[in-house]
Structure 1
Amino acid sequence: MRNVLIFLTLAFGLSWLVALPLRFGDGLASPFFGLIALLMMATPAIAALVVVFFVEKPARRAHALGLWPIGRPGRFLGYLALAIVVPVALILVALPIGALLGVYPADFVGFSGFQAVTDAQLEATGAPALPFPIGVLVALQFVNVLIGAFLNLIPAMGEELGWRGWLLPKLLPLGVLPAILLSGVIWGLWHAPLVLLGYNYPLAPGWLGVVMMCGMCILIGAVFSWLRLRSGSVWAPALAHGAFNAAAGFSIVFVAAGEVIDTTQATVLGWSGWIVPLVLVVVLALTGKFSPREAAERVEPGAAEADGSPLTRR
Structure 2
Amino acid sequence: MTADRSPFALSLSVFLLLSFGLSWLLALPLWLGDGLEDPLFYPIAVAMMGTPAIAALVVVFFVERPPQRARSLALWPLTPAGRLIGYLALALVVPILLILVALPVGALLGVYPADFAHLSGFQELIDAGVAELGIPIPDIPIGVLLAFQFVNVIIGAFLNLIPALGEELGWRGWLLPRLYRFGAAPALLISGIIWGLWHAPVILLGYNYPDAPGWLGLLMMVGMCVIIGAVFGWLRMRSASVWPAALAHSSFNAAAGFHLVFAQAGQTVNTVHASILGWSGWIVPILLVAVLWATGQFRPAPVEPERPEPHKELE
Give the aligned partner of residue 105 of structure 1.
113
C-alpha displacement of 1:70: 2.2
C-alpha displacement of 1:37: 0.1
Distance 2:239 2:267 in 1: 41
Distance 1:121 1:33 in 2: 20
Tell me which of 72, 76, 98 is aligned to 1:64: 72
Give the aligned partner of residue 55 of structure 2.
47
Distance 2:189 2:201 in 1: 21
Whether the 8 Å contact between 1:70 and 1:231 is mirrored in structure 2 is no
Distance 1:291 1:56 in 2: 24
TM-score, normalised to structure 2, is 0.93
Distance 1:172 1:2 in 2: 17
Tell me which of 282, 298, 305 is aligned to 1:299: 305
- Tell me if 1:86 matches 2:94: yes
C-alpha displacement of 1:140: 1.0
Post-superposition Cα deviations, 1:187-243, rounded to whole Å, max 9, x if no partner, equal 000000000000000000000000000000000000000000000010000000000
Tell me which of 242, 255, 262 is aligned to 2:270: 262
Deviates more, 1:68-77 or 1:29-38: 68-77
- Tell me if 1:217 matches 2:225: yes
Distance 1:167 1:130 in 2: 49
Report the secondary structure of 2:76's partner residue: coil
C-alpha displacement of 1:129: 4.6
Structure exhibiting the larger radius of gyration computed from Cα positions: 2
Give the aligned partner of residue 150 of structure 1.
158
Give the aligned partner of residue 31 of structure 1.
39
Question: Aligned residue pairs: how many?
Answer: 300
Tell me which of 74, 78, 83 is aligned to 1:75: 83
Distance 1:5 1:224 in 2: 23
Whether the 8 Å contact between 1:122 and 1:128 is mirrored in structure 2 is yes
C-alpha displacement of 1:71: 2.0
Runs of at least 4 residues off by over 4 Å? none
Distance 1:223 1:295 in 2: 19
Aligned-residue CA RMSD (Å): 1.2
TM-score, normalised to structure 1, is 0.94
C-alpha displacement of 1:299: 3.2
Structure 1 segment 1-314 matched on structure 2, within 5 A: 1-292=9-300, 294-296=301-303, 298-300=304-306
Identity of aligned pairs, percent?
Answer: 65
